[in-house]
A and B are shown apart, each in its own frame.
Chain A
Amino acid sequence: MSKDVVADLKRDHIAKLLEKGIRTDGRKFEEMRPLTVETNFIGSAEGSARVRLGDTQVVVGVKLILGEPFADTPNSGVLTTNAELIPMASDTFEGGPPDQESIEVARVIDRGIREGHAVDLDKLCIEPGKEVWIMFVDVHVLDYDGNLFDAANIGANAAFKTAIVPAKRAGKGEDYPLPVKHQPISLTAVKIDGKILVDPSHDEERVADARLTVATIENGNLCAMQKGLDGAFTLDEVFKVVDLSRRIGEDIRSRL
């Protein structure tokens, strides 16, 4: 992320406000932006959700197709997560093959839902070693005002909740709801001048020193974590973000 002159000025502005305990959009440090979730937004998908987190807007679509399991997990369906940071969403995104940033976003989203067992993949097995459901989770970012990690994670969880396995169309019996197991919710925080802010906006992300995403499940256990950016965290700061993730995750989960 190139930090040029404009960014320096922006940084000064943001930092000065933070000294006074204020974020540029008036939020408290530990306050999320307004969240709206609209499920079944895409009729051609087996499950879908359109999520707005402040001005960030993503559409998550879930598709299921028949395929073969991996050799080392013959009894499990296959989960594939893809995130497209398309140039529509921001002038900082470029077209073409996914860059490191898109890949990190996709992998962090994937890690949250995979390690948190959002979907019971064993229930997506049709014939062990032969045929399983391949589940594609596609994240389409339409408008990018920061914190894709959480917007997409929420979208994926919401889409799962309403998704239907299209067994009938594939000649595999009756349709049934996607077997949801947990709701691993991620929380992303950034550090700017030693302050920890949750749900960063695009401007906050651009000037942040470090970023930490922590995903937790219902019982408060941790299932995934990713630190990013050039800065560092202290151990206490890590523990603080973990606590915030537990607390805010519970709130978000209750609203899905």
Chain B
Amino acid sequence: MKDHNYIPQKAKVVERESLSPDCLGLKIRFPKNYQFNFHPGQFVMVSVPGFSEVPIGITTAPDKNDFEIGVRSAGTVTKKIVSLMVGDDIYINGPFGNGFPLQKMKGKNIVIIAAGIGIFPLRSLIRYLGNNKKIFKSLTIFVGSKCPESLIYKKEYKEWEKFAKVYTTVDSCGPTWDGCIGNITTLFDKNKINKGSLMIACGPPIIYKSIINRYVGKSIAENDLYFMLERKMKCGVGKCQHCTCGELYVCTDGPVFSYDQIKYNTEALS
């Protein structure tokens, strides 16, 4: 039983899969009668007893009893999470955050930009759109990564290509890579996008700057451009203050923000 909002729900790791040298995918299942509903783009607070909690995006669409997460080993807690085995307990609190603007996607050309582990939460959206192909007009996915080995979910590109155009690029590579080389902006140069598209990006803040320079005021409207922000978080419910950007809380107002929401917010896009 959950008796106050900081007590997480116990769940189990039912599958685990290495996604890249330092990333792991986990499938998580709650006990039978536990209700867990979420929107694509929301995140959960994940904890293991003895270790603290960390915010982690959900990577699947809300269509099954289980859900998946992808975790990069970055520090204390994430290192522990990636060491979990099938059958281990894992503790989940949430879901938290606003999620993607699904309503606005109706009939639109959608562009998804994922750099590095930014693909984790966006995969939830891709899968959702894959399940609901009728609602949007077209889907373009730009994926960038350091090297071919750290291109996460590449196995699924085939599946995605059934309903989307997928373009990938890597910063550097060995001889076996025959795709595009260069950072993610290289893809912007090579592939024209439709004017009036809805664009959603997740990755390190630096790419947001190039996206703004490139598209705002040209092909994308300010309120059609969405960024996911990443901040330190301790509570997930708008109390601890770690995730604030000016007036906004990444945990409750975000993590998905439209550009016009944050363009004057000096802390959001710093």
Asked if A and B bind, the verdict is: no
Interface residues of A (CB under 8 A from B): none
Q: Which residues of B contact A (CB under 8 A)?
A: none
